[in-house]
Amino acid sequence: MITQVTIEGFKLLRTKPIPLSRVTTIVGPNNGGKTSLLQSLMAWQLALHTWVKRRKYDPSSPEKLTAKKRPGVRLNLEELTFVEVGTSKELWPDLLVFEGPNKPALIRILVEGVANSIPWKCGMEFQFSDEKSFNVRPSATAERGEILLPEAAISEVVVLNSAIHATLPLSELLLQRDGVDFMIQTGQVNRALRSMLYYLDCGSESESPAAEPSAEWKALADDIRSMFDVDIERPKRLPNSQIEVVYRNRRKDRTGKTCQPMNLNTAGSGFLQMLQLLTLFYSRRGKATLFLLDEPEAHLESIRQQDLYRLLAERAEVRWTPSFRPRSTGNKMDFRSLLSFVFLFVYRSLCASKPF
């Protein structure tokens, strides 16, 4: 699991080690660098995996890399789908890409963790190339100018950044599991929600639903029922490969009859946001080492905000972290003074090689 991140010179972030626990909540005003922290972790992962792939580095047989053995590889700005900037310079503080004559300013992101009780470190550095690209390579150690890329950092760490939307497309064809992965990684969770729900119902070992829903589906349905007094019905695959998901209010209608099932498109934004969050959580639990949620309380009323935090913290089997403790009165938490926050979930017992 990841235990600490040190970021040097990424957007608003200066050199500062940030310890991580099972759940870490970052609180602060708008434009304070919370989203930049999430983006830096995504940039570290992209840089690491791109360098390993293009340099054909074998993580099962790690070797020490001297300066000659760790030349940079070029990344195009368009590959950073999780960062909206116009030029590469905007990734550097104050747009300063040089510290002096022939001395480039480097962005350095160091991630530390523990695997099988053994600590590891893995740093990546970024050097400006031009307006639309930059070079990345592993960071060297201060002692000998060489580095050992830990296998755990490459094969066991999966950083998942989730953009949550309040609207859904009118219909959705069933995506393959790797297509669901792509939609999630590119921040299009809403375009894959029905497919995610379908596979959640199927379980991780099957491509079609069984007579009984999976344990994860039952847990999701129970949470939705307790929070919204709504029953969400199991997804159906139609003959044209579209996925149909409906929900039904548990209350009676005006005539005293059971409410008719409704398409997900008719649901409110807060309900859809919570459904996406919980679906991501249950489908990715045990597969992602770091689960990033950027201001997940948007579209949620204050009561739902505290329900969301309490629910996710309980499902992750954690206690409140020292970095964030809402004011409480009795059994209720006061979120009114909260400007914005992000969640960072760090999971144990990982299996990053398995698909969605």
Q: Are residues 335 and 306 in contact, defined by beta-carbon separation less than 8 angstroms?
A: yes
Query: For position 347, what pLDDT does the model report?
Result: 40
Residues 15 and 136 in one domain: yes
Read off the DSSP letter of residue 56.
Answer: T
- End position of a domain, from candidates 229, 259, 284: 284
CATH code (residue 45): 3.40.50
Phi, psi of 38 (to 5 degrees): -65, -45
Query: For position 204, what pLDDT does the model report?
Result: 83
Residues 201 and 300 in one domain: no
Enter the tokens of residue 187: 């921040």
Give the structural domain span for 187.
Answer: 168-284
Enter the tokens of residue 52: 């390993």
Q: Which residues of the chain have pLDDT under 70?
A: 28-31, 62-70, 141-147, 160-166, 253, 285-303, 315-356
- H helix or E strand, kind and range, residue 129: strand 118-130
Residues 146 and 223 in one domain: no
Query: For position 338, what pLDDT does the model report?
Result: 34
Query: For position 354, what pLDDT does the model report?
Result: 32
- H helix or E strand, kind and range, residue 108: strand 107-115
Residues 4 and 113 in one domain: yes
Residues 292 and 337 in one domain: yes
d(CA 314, CA 281): 12
Residues 230 and 291 in one domain: no
DSSP string, 18-39: EE--SEEEEE--TTSSHHHHHH
d(CA 269, CA 7): 34
Question: What is the model's pTM?
Answer: 0.65
- Bridge partner residues of 217 (DSSP): none
Integer CA distances (angstroms), 77 to 38, 147, 155, 261, in order: 17, 26, 25, 45
Residues 71 and 189 in one domain: no
Residue 221: inside a domain: yes
Residues 280 and 312 in one domain: no
Q: Give the chain's length.
A: 356
